[in-house]
Structure 1
């Protein structure tokens, strides 16, 4: 028998048989890991098995290759914060959907896990959450090997008037270097380069650029998959709160 215990956040659930549920858990040590929760549809357990919930989990299986089963205890619910407003709910759903979509199964990503928990703990703080989410998407791209290099112009090597990002290389491009190719480049608003606070409208522009690399680089590297629709709902919620 193989067994381990860890703390993590629930990313997704789906029915398994008449009374059980398959849970996807994201933890620092075991990454995205699935297991069956017996009786997971019961009134006692079901409220705990919500996306975003922080739980303590023990996983057991006869062989490592098996699906295995979880025993789960609640640590912290984020349901109240998520249901408090449209932005928080959209944010929680987007984070969980993207991670469920792109994380390799059973591969640890401890730095991304820490960033994710910190982000989820900010749910309900509408004044800081959009910027924190943008930084999280940048961290996601970095962690998965598709990060952008915004330190200097890819063409001229300068670090002045960097206003574009190359969709091919992910590197910054200056105004003068862009020339006639400007309409084929992605926008590089100051906030994307880490230059302080920004309006939600500027953050939405920056999320258009990070979203390009998530959809056309990260997700496409995993096969023919679409961008999770939950992310589009989040962008819409941030736009409405601008």
Structure 2
């Protein structure tokens, strides 16, 4: 096994006295894990930061063996880790990807989307510049893993006009007229997920509420509490940023 590619560092775990096991997302080979000799050294610690873009070289003699991984920094995003809100965004996006993506299955759309979200966080640390992209990434991740929402039309009436809600059970959109009487049982559907563009803050928080429901139900059920705590930190900081 030999894979050489650009990769996004998504998770780093200490292994042994000096090494580290790194999970990184590649464009063509998906999420791969490898052992980095000296990964906890002063030289490599700044390289092996979740969110960083690296040139990765995975090598193993057999498919069953954990590959040895050598790394070279391509783009550092570690500078934003000192800012609370951007750091929470990077931590959540990478931890989510590392937690739910299966090994060695290609997800080129997710790679491009994750790289785009992280680049947006670096380019515009203010959340208004990247929060909608984060919601769209979560939605795409659900879709790519087989749990996509159906926002094409109202599950009750069939119309595709004035879609305003999503059923928390079926994941299907519901029009305003069909859902008004049951709005307390439905999830708000922010307009930016249908029309594109940036959203207002209320819509952005509704978007996180929407995707969070299905992520927790379909992908994160039974997972460790750490991953959900990372998302709670992000949403709490977004709420504080709103005011």
User: TM-score, length-normalised on structure 1?
Assistant: 0.92
Structure 1 residues without counterparts, runs of 5 or longer: none
Structure 2 residues without counterparts, runs of 5 or longer: none
Spell out the pairing of 1:5-154 with structure 2 (5 A cutoff). 5-83=4-82, 85-124=83-122, 125=124, 126=126, 127-154=128-155
Report the Cα distance in structure 1 between the residues aligned to 2:241 and 2:180, rounded to whole angstroms: 34
C-alpha displacement at 1:8, in angstroms? 0.4
Bigger shift: residues 169-178 or 179-188: 179-188
Report the Cα distance in structure 2 between the residues aligned to 1:196 and 1:79, rounded to whole angstroms: 28
Q: 1:195 to 1:123 in 2, by over 3 A?
A: closer
8 Å CA contact 1:200–1:238 kept in 2: the answer is no
Report the Cα distance in structure 2 between the residues aligned to 1:188 and 1:118, rounded to whole angstroms: 23
Q: 1:21 to 1:210 in 2, by over 3 A?
A: same
Structure 1, residues 174-214: CA drift from partner, whole Å, max 9, x if none?
23323654322211122232353222232011110111111
Give me the CA root mean square deviation: 1.7
8 Å CA contact 2:46–2:78 kept in 1: the answer is no
C-alpha displacement at 1:66, in angstroms? 0.9
User: TM-score, length-normalised on structure 2?
Assistant: 0.91
Report the Cα distance in structure 2 between the residues aligned to 1:158 and 1:65, rounded to whole angstroms: 51
Runs of 4 or more, structure 1, over 6 Å off, are none
